[in-house]
Amino acid sequence: MKQEVKKRIKIQTRQLSFSYNGKTVLDKISTEFLANKITAITGPSGSGKSTFLTIMNRLWETTPGCTIQGKVEIKFGDSFQNIYQKQYSSTLLRRQVGMVFQTPNPLPMSIYKNIVFPLELSGKNNRKKNKIMVEECLKLTGLWEEVSDRLNSSALELSGGQQQRLCIARAMILQPEILLLDEPTSSLDHKASTAIEQLLLKLKKQCTILIVSHYLDQIQRIADCIVELQDGKFRQHKTKQDMLQPLSQVQV
Domains identified in the chain and CATH numbers: 3-249 (3.40.50.300)
CA–CA distance, 48 with 181 (Å, rounded to integer)? 14
Quote the mean pLDDT of the chain. 91
Beta strands in 109-224 (DSSP E): 178-182, 208-212
DSSP per-residue codes, 53-116: HHHHTTGGGGSTTEEEEEEEEEEETTEEEETTSTTS-HHHHHHHEEEE-SS----SSBHHHHHH
Whether 22 shows a pLDDT value over 60: the answer reads yes
Q: Residues of the chain with pLDDT > 70: what percent?
A: 91
CA–CA distance, 202 with 191 (Å, rounded to integer)? 17
Q: Give the pTM.
A: 0.91
pLDDT value, residue 235: 82
Whether 252 shows a pLDDT value over 80: the answer reads no
Q: How distant is the alpha carbon of residue 80 from its chain centre?
A: 19
pLDDT in tens, 113-169: 999 999 999 999 899 999 999 999 999 999 999 999 999 999 999 999 999 999 999
Whether 249 shows a pLDDT value over 80: the answer reads no
CA-to-CA separations, 173 to 40, 53, 78, in angstroms, rounded? 23, 20, 23
Q: Which of 17-31, 92-106, 211-225, 227-241 has the lowest mean pLDDT?
A: 227-241
Longest alpha-carbon distance in the chain: 57
pLDDT in tens, 49-93: 999 999 999 999 999 999 999 999 999 999 999 999 988 999 999
Amino acid at 47: S
- CB count within 10 Å of CB 120 equals 12
Contact present, 173 and 162 (Cβ < 8 Å): no
CA–CA distance, 23 with 124 (Å, rounded to integer)? 42
Buried b / exposed e along 17-43 (16+ C-beta atoms within 10 A):
bbbbeeeebbeebeebbbeeebbbbbb
